[in-house]
A and B are shown apart, each in its own frame.
Chain A
Amino acid sequence: MQAGILTTEGLTVRFGGVCALDQFSFAVGEKEVVGLIGPNGAGKTTLLNTISGFLHPNEGRVSFAGQSLTSLQPHAIARLGIARMFQDMRLAGTLTILENLLLACPHQLEESMCGLFLTPRKSRAEQKANAIKALELLASLGLAKERGETVRHLSYGQQKLVSIACCLARDARVLLLDEPVAGVAPRMRDQILDLIRDLPGRGKSVLLVEHDIDAVRRTCDRVIFLDSGRKVSEGSAEAVLADRRVLDSYLS
């Protein structure tokens, strides 16, 4: 295994008396797709929330490319190059698809008052470059025609696609994807899975949380089975899915 770009060591998160993550250590390598599976309440989303800074661990640490993330705020972590897609679909609902993508672009001089009013030409040029990039991305996902549609009027599947597009527009090195194909129509599901499979080729690493076992088989280099906040089994998709402890956990 390569050196991890994203690693956790002894990560423990408790909610009151419940231990959602218990001494959890793992790593995601460069250009690797790691799948995280496990029953409901196993701690999968808790792990993503802790990595992206929305939860603070009681013990342990998270590091990204050698830097500790443990005390950083979510927006600072996002800026370092970790993109996050949420299970409960979060987007700017009143903005259009294109606006959501522009929002996701990492370079935004215009967001500071200095950039906006003191160097208007430079920040406008940057916005133009962002727009070109966003439009290319939308075209590659087949969303170019709908770019002016308000996001909250889109179908569930389209919203998922826009969520993923936003992650891609971040130029992040690591993508944290929480159930990207749950509840999505078959054709779009294939499109999303192909996209995920392509990400390592573009230099990106992925941590994928998914209940859809077939999707995990198709995309992941390595799978971790999590139960009650602990790592139960780790290895190739076939090995983990053949593990008796995993079967017991799913069937019991």
Chain B
Amino acid sequence: MTDYLLSVAILLALYVTLSVSLNLLAGYSGLISLAQATLFGIGAYASAILAVRFGVDLTLAFLVAVGATIVFALAVALLSVRVRDDYFVVATFGFQAVVVSVFTNSVRLTGGPMGIKGIPKPTLLGWDASSNWALLLLACILAVASIAVEWRMGRSAFGRAMRACRDDEVFAQSLGKNVGRTRVVAFVIAACMAAMAGSLYAYYVTFIDPASFTLTEAILILAMVIIGGAGSIWGPVLGAGLLVALPEALRAFGLPTLAAGNLRQIVYGVLLVLFVAFRPEGILGAEAGLKKGDR
């Protein structure tokens, strides 16, 4: 039982990090990104490859994973922040499709559809971090750090600039804000958070395959942000809590795992549609949320 709760808690902490990271884009910047699960995946794959092939320490794997993700994130951001709204969604959708296809097809690097097995349990600067308690601790530190970074950013002049770029690009430019740069910075910081979560995820599950980083996952993270409340600090945390707890609750009601899995997709979908239609600001959302100024 403890093992079960521990595994749910680790997943929860990782999903909190992911939804907080996406909130920086979807909430503050008004950029609905479908690439967050992909950046999470790049972090996971980079760590897994380093750990399995080179047996490197968690710290190094972590840093390389973040570095690799920043490179990808910069490339995507520099190309896609020129467009916004629907076009930005399509651009990030394209990116995730390409990367998932690389995960699936470059068998020599990523193991293809079979994924990467046998990721060794991590050591951190000589400390044996192989127990789930140690991973939970690391995942919680990451989640809390992500929330703290977002809190500081959201309340700062940078946060105001992000929201101004979301509300009215032209106005923001007329006040000397470099709209493109602001969005690239937000995108890259969100990518760093996702990459760190990915790195820990790989060490935690010890086996990764492309199925963990697909569009379904991207939409799940987006649902957490929207349902919890885009543009607020605690909204995405609550959203992650609800959507991680939901399948566990369904299982607790005695539904067979397969049925619970399918039902889960339906419940996510219905919740997402209902929230977007009737409460776009989410449960705890700032007034603006995903809505654009209705002037």
Contacts and interface: CB of A to CB of B under 8 A. Distances in A.
A is bound by B? yes
Interface of A: 52, 54, 73-76, 78-79, 83-84, 86, 89-95, 99-100, 102-104, 106, 108-113, 116-117, 123, 127, 150, 152, 166, 170
Contacts of A116: 152-153, 156-158
Nearest to B174: A84
Nearest to A170: B175
Contact of A75 (B168, B178, B189, B287): B178
B152 A117 contact: yes
B175 A111 contact: no
Given A86-B171, A93-B295, A127 B157 contact: yes
Contact of A108 (B157, B167, B173, B294): B157
B170 interface: yes
Is chain B's interface secondary structure helix, strand, loop, or mixed overall? Answer: helix
Nearest to B289: A94
A104 B160 contact: no
B139 interface: no
Q: Among A73, A103, A127, A152, which residue has the most Cβ atoms of chain B within 10 A?
A: A103
B173 A75 contact: yes
Nearest to B175: A104
Contacts of B175: 75, 78, 103-104, 166, 170
Interface size class of B (residues with CB under 8 A): 20 to 34
B161 A103 contact: yes
Interface of B: 152-153, 156-158, 160-161, 163-164, 166-168, 170-179, 182, 185, 189, 286-288, 293-295
A94 B173 contact: no
A127 B160 CA distance: 12
Contacts of B293: 92-94, 152
Contact of B160 (A86, A91, A102, A112): A102
Nearest to B291: A94
B170 A75 contact: no
B160 A74 contact: no
A90 B175 CA distance: 11
B295 A152 contact: yes
Given A73-B178, A103-B177, A104-B175, 15 more contacts: A74-B173, A75-B175, A75-B176, A78-B173, A78-B175, A86-B170, A90-B168, A91-B167, A92-B164, A92-B172, A103-B157, A109-B157, A111-B177, A116-B153, A127-B156
